[in-house]
């Protein structure tokens, strides 16, 4: 449904996106994960035809983004970073206006309108002026305009930003509902979002893909090692070095003065050794717990360290 080949975008001498390629089948939900400035928005703008790529191509539903940009736009629903919703219009009249722009036939207008209002939980505010709505509701209006014409492809740039926890849950379940029927690309830097909604994940950093896999596949790579959080009363001279020197301890990171993240292999045996070492050092062991946010670890590892054996 979406095919991206060697897409790059360069602004002056700043590389925003470099040699990005991926394929997305109908009904798949792709999580596009990356820190601020990684190139998520730039990639989405290129796929939706808002900016031209510096090099490379992409097709959406078989249409080339450079050769048939209007056809591409017709297949896509796009929620951009700062949705330009018309503040002085009512929710309903704005959505009608968008539906007309997107060439929704008159006969299907009411059906499409009701569906979008219902899916985005906007029925109660349909008659209100957009400018008076809360930020979260304006975000919902942005989402409603993206899905109004039942596009084959949805491109959502941080759809849950600024929403409260309940709305986040609602939007996530909406996205999950759409899967199978619609192909979705979703950008975020919120990791649980990806675990909950996406079938596949691409992690980009500084414009380049650093990982592409299923959520399970990504976390599996790290399952050999685990991370323990340590909290101690004090840190005697050479404490961190003593931990790092232990066999099977891969890495010791300082989180705050008396908190450490210790990555280790070897399971129970290594954990016992670690606990002993801390106790003998006189640091005063207050807490030792296994961290569970493994996708977070993968993400941080990939975006902060030099990728090992990077594929050209």
- The reply on whether position 4 binds ligand ATP by CB under 6 A is no
Residue nearest to Mg ion (CB): 41
Residue 195 interacts, among Mg ion, ligand ATP, none and using kind-specific CB cut-offs from 5 to 8 Å, with none
**Window of 32-40, 137-145, 247-255, 287-295 that interacts with ligand ATP by CB under 6 A:** 32-40
User: Which one of 8, 41, 48, 160 is in contact with Mg ion (CB under 5 A)?
Assistant: 41
**Contact call for residues 177 and 147 (beta carbons, < 8 A):** no
Nearer to ligand ATP, 16 or 171 (CB): 16
**Window of 29-37, 63-71, 100-108, 279-287 that interacts with ligand ATP by CB under 6 A:** 29-37
Count Cβ neighbours within 10 Å for each residue of 232-263 and write b for 16 or more, e otherwise. Answer: beebeeebeebbeebeebbebeeeeebebebb
Query: Torsion angle, CA of 242/243/244/246, rounded to 10 degrees?
Result: 90
- The reply on whether position 36 binds ligand ATP by CB under 6 A is yes
CB atoms near residue 308 (< 10 Å): 6
Nearer to ligand ATP, 47 or 144 (CB): 47
- The reply on whether position 208 binds ligand ATP by CB under 6 A is no
Residue 11 interacts, among ligand ATP, Mg ion, none and using kind-specific CB cut-offs from 5 to 8 Å, with ligand ATP
Residue 34 interacts, among Mg ion, ligand ATP, none and using kind-specific CB cut-offs from 5 to 8 Å, with ligand ATP
Question: Total number of residues binding ligand ATP (CB under 6 A)?
Answer: 12
Per DSSP, the three-state class of 279 is helix
**Window of 30-38, 136-144, 226-234, 297-305 that interacts with ligand ATP by CB under 6 A:** 30-38
- The reply on whether position 145 binds Mg ion by CB under 5 A is no
Using CA atoms, how far apart are residues 262 and 260, in angstroms rounded to an integer?
A: 6
Any bridge partners for residue 11, and if so which?
Answer: 14
User: Which one of 14, 106, 280, 290 is in contact with ligand ATP (CB under 6 A)?
Assistant: 14
User: Which one of 5, 6, 11, 181 is in contact with ligand ATP (CB under 6 A)?
Assistant: 11
Give the Å distances, CA to CA, from 251 to 199, 229, 240, 257, 269: 30, 12, 10, 17, 17
Angle, vertex CA 172, rays to CA 105 and CA 167, nearest 5: 95
Residue 39 CB, shortest distance to ligand ATP, in Å, is 4
- The reply on whether position 41 binds ligand ATP by CB under 6 A is yes
Nearer to Mg ion, 80 or 246 (CB): 80
Residue spans of alpha helices (H) in the chain: 40-47, 69-75, 91-101, 106-119, 135-147, 165-178, 191-197, 215-220, 239-244, 267-281, 294-304
Using CA atoms, how far apart are residues 124 and 117, in angstroms rounded to an integer?
A: 9
Residue 65 CB, shortest distance to Mg ion, in Å, is 19
Residue 99, both tokens: 């539906």
- The reply on whether position 280 binds ligand ATP by CB under 6 A is no
Contacting positions for ligand ATP (CB under 6 A): 11, 14, 16, 34, 36-42, 189
Contacting positions for Mg ion (CB under 5 A): 40-41
């Amino acid at each position: 449904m979406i095919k991206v080949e060697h897409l790059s975008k360069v602004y002056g001498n700043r590389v925003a996106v470099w040699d990005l390629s991926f394929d997305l089948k109908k009904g798949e939900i792709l999580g596009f994960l990356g820190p601020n400035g990684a190139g998520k928005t730039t990639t989405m703008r290129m796929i939706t035809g808002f900016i031209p790529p510096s090099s490379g191509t992409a097709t959406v539903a078989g249409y080339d983004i450079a050769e048939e940009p209007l056809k591409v736009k017709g297949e896509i629903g796009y929620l951009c970073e700062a949705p330009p919703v018309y503040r002085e219009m009512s929710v309903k009249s704005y959505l009608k206006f968008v539906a007309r722009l997107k060439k929704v036939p008159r006969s299907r207008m009411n059906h499409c309108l009701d569906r979008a209002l219902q899916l985005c939980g906007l029925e109660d505010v349909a008659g209100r002026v957009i400018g008076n709505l809360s930020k979260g509701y304006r975000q919902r209006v942005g989402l409603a305009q993206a899905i109004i014409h039942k596009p084959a492809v949805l491109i959502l740039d941080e759809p849950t930003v600024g929403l409260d926890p309940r709305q986040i849950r609602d939007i996530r379940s909406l996205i999950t509902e759409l899967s199978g029927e619609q192909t979705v690309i979703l950008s975020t830097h919120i990791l649980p979002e990806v675990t909950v909604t996406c079938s596949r994940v691409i992690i980009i950093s500084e414009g380049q893909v650093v990982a592409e896999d299923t959520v399970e596949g990504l976390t599996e790579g790290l399952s050999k090692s685990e991370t323990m959080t340590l909290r101690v009363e004090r840190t005697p001279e050479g404490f961190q070095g003593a931990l790092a020197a232990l066999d099977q301890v891969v890495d010791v990171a300082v989180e705050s003065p008396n908190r450490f993240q210790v990555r280790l292999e070897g399971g129970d045996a290594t954990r016992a050794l670690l606990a002993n070492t801390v106790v003998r050092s006189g640091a005063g062991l207050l807490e030792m717990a296994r961290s569970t946010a493994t996708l977070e670890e993968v993400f941080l590892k990939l975006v902060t360290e030099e990728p090992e054996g990077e594929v050209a």
